[in-house]
A and B are shown apart, each in its own frame.
Chain A
Amino acid sequence: CSLFNLEASLYTIKGILILDNDGNRVLCNVCCRWLCLSVCCAPACAHAPLCPQYYDDALPTVKEQRAFEKKLFQKTAKANAEIIMFDGITCVYRSNIDLFFYVFGAASENELLLATVLGAYYEAISLIVNRDTLEKASLLEQMDTVLLITDELVDKGIVLNTDAESLARIATTTKS
């Protein structure tokens, strides 16, 4: 793992989550890569699969993931504070009518970098889902586009593109 030690690594995003106002998952795209880096730094983890499964070694089961999400939600639902730190993560978030958007990285991560990613994500989604109605129902209607935007934004923990307009454009191209 020395190859990708945290501070100099391009794997900056640990996860992206969208929760609804009950704290349930709307979308969860957690990059396992980081967790492998931060939790175990044994040589063995160099062979950990780069898989799109969510929460790798630290939170391997769905039960643990949900517990994390619940904790995150409880800590963020009431206070609209934009940023929070706990359990070795820095999390920036944004909420609107009935949705919570989270982007999180390592505790040592540049907070403004995370905020830039979150800003781009929120903005891109707003561009495709009409700004006045960015809420759960309209988001669910365009779930495929949201998935495509997420994919263009971050690739396995590496920030890929933070230009909201081009994110929205790429994700909504329909012509062949």
Chain B
Amino acid sequence: MAHRDKKDEEDGLVNPFLGLEKSTVLQEARAFNEMPIRVSKCLMILTKLLFLIHQGDTLGTREATETFFSMTKLFQCPDVRLRRMVYLTIKAMSTISEDVIMVTSSLMKDMTARDDTYRGAAIRALCTITDNTTLQSLERFLKQAIVDRNPSVSSGALVSSLHLLNKGHDVVKRWVNEVQQAASNNSAMSQYHALGLLYHIKAKDRLAVQKLVATQIKKHLSSPFATCQLIRYSLKVIEADPDANHDDLHDFLESCLRNKSEMVVYEAARAIVNLKNVTARQLAPAVSVLQLFLSSPRPVLRFAAVRSLNKVSISHPNAVKTCVLDMENLITDSNRSVATLAITTLLKIGNEASVDR
């Protein structure tokens, strides 16, 4: 009963985003031109505007451009929060409005500002509206940002560079030294983004990828995300040349099974069971960590483990035999997908004796 009362009360509240009319919001957006700028009012209008775009409302090019133009006036206001919302709107409108390029200089000013709080976000917004011609003029700043000491700045620049690879592969390729530097001395997430960018720059050159992976596995990457990524790249290297000796890579994969992050342990186990010519000796430790996950209280872990073991059971049914008991416990799992996967796995590895139980 208490719950119901609460709900009724809620329904009485006005949801500011319900039944928003496009024309009304665009009308309100004219307030951007008013001086002095009223921060909270403008914040609300920008939120409504983003909400409309997220809901799938389509703005016409003319109305979008007009709104975009008045929004640029908000750059005169130093409020950080407002500025960040302006960036979001720039990104959301970058494909529907014309002449978005006119905010380039404002964003460039922000990305080189002394205040770190919005530099990363400014870079990401700037790179969304950048085309091939302006990319050249940004090059110097982006290279600097990649090696910036602030992780949000360097991550912002690295991720943007990755997005830009499609537009200007040749330009981004030239930043390889800076990216390399970011990969070795920055925060955990920057490490991840730098490693990803390095891989994508070199992806077409098999030897370069091999070399990259060989160098990186010698370091102890602190980021679980970066380590997962490196596991994937190692798998690529092994797959690309299955006959070569990859002992160092196999050792790396096995060492990741002892990582303190479950995400990494799982990624390594998953990589090992997916190896094409995997030996029983390589498979055993991977199967045992997956077996441990089977009895985890977290559904996500059980799901991940049973899904991988299901895959193993197709190619190496014998390797999964040890998990039969744990698997049988999952037949009645509260998560239906887990139960289904457990049953199909058991069918693949089962014999008459287990069918009886």
- A130 close to B (CB within 8 Å): no
**How many angstroms between the C-alpha atoms of A53 and B128 in the bound complex?**
13
Chain B residue, CB-CB nearest to A84? B337
Contact A143 B263, beta carbon cutoff 8 Å: no
How many whole Å from A159's CB to the nearest CB in chain B?
A: 6
Contact of A10 (CB < 8 Å), options: B56, B193, B204, B262:
B193
Contact call A51/B94, Cβ cutoff below 8 A: yes
Determine chain B's interface SS by DSSP, over half rule.
helix
If A116-B263, A140-B16 touch, does A25 touch B334 (CB 8 Å cutoff)?
Answer: no
Residue in A51, A112, A136 whose CB lies within 8 Å of B301: A112
CB distance from A13 to the nearest CB of B (A): 12
The digit string for B26-47, where 1 denotes a CB below 8 A from any CB of A, is: 0000000000000000011011
Contacting residues, chain A, for B17 (C-beta < 8 A): 140, 143
Q: Tell me the residues in window 95-109 of chain A with beta carbons closer than 8 Å to chain B beta carbons.
A: 98
- A151 and B303 contact, Cβ closer than 8 Å, known pairs A8-B233, A51-B95: no
B343: Cβ under 8 A from any A Cβ? no
Query: Does B336 lie within 8 Å of A110, measured CB to CB?
Result: no
**Roughly how many angstroms separate A15 CA and B200 CA in the complex, as a whole number?**
22
Residues in chain B near residue A25, CB distance under 8 A: 54-55
| CB within 8 Å for A176 and B78 given contacts A29-B54, A136-B10 | yes
Decide if A3 touches B85 in the complex (CB within 8 Å): no
- Is B95 in contact with A83, judged by CB distance below 8 angstroms? no
A39 located at the interface, meaning its Cβ lies under 8 Å from any Cβ of chain B in the complex: no
B301 in contact with A140 (CB, 8 Å) = no
Stretch at the interface among B157-165, B241-249, B281-289: B157-165
Q: Across the interface, do B88 and A147 meet the contact criterion of CB distance under 8 Å?
A: yes
Q: How many residues on chain A are close to B (CB under 8 Å)?
A: 56
Please indicate the chain A residues that have their CB under 8 angstroms from the CB of B47 in the complex: 143-144, 147
> Per a CB cutoff under 8 Å, which of B128, B162, B189, B298 touches A161?
B189
- Count of chain B residues with a beta carbon within 8 Å of a chain A beta carbon: 76
How many Å lie between the Cα of A146 and that of B7 in the bound state? 22
Does A27 touch B at the CB level, under 8 Å? yes
Decide: B335 and A83 in contact? CB cutoff 8 A.
yes
| B15, A83: Cβ atoms closer than 8 Å | no
B68 at the interface (CB under 8 A from A): no
A50 sits at the interface (CB 8 A): yes
Is the Cβ of B56 less than 8 Å from the Cβ of A137?
no
Known contacts A25-B55, A113-B225, A160-B189: does B10 contact A3 (CB below 8 Å)?
Answer: no
Interface string of A15-40 (1 = CB under 8 A from B): 00000000001011100000000000
Q: Does A58 contact B (CB under 8 A)?
A: no
A67 at the interface (CB under 8 A from B): no
Report the nearest B residue to A118, measured CB to CB: B300
Contact of A160 with B88 in the complex, beta carbons under 8 Å: no
| A14: interface (CB < 8 Å) | no
* Interface status of B203 (Cβ within 8 A of chain A): yes
New A-B contacts (10) at CB < 8 Å, excluding given A83-B335, A92-B300, A112-B266:
A8-B236, A10-B162, A81-B335, A82-B335, A111-B304, A113-B267, A147-B88, A160-B189, A174-B80, A176-B79
Instruction: Please name 5 pairs of A and B residues whose Cβ atoms are closer than 8 Å in the assembled complex, sorted by A.
Output: A3-B204, A25-B55, A52-B95, A156-B159, A158-B162
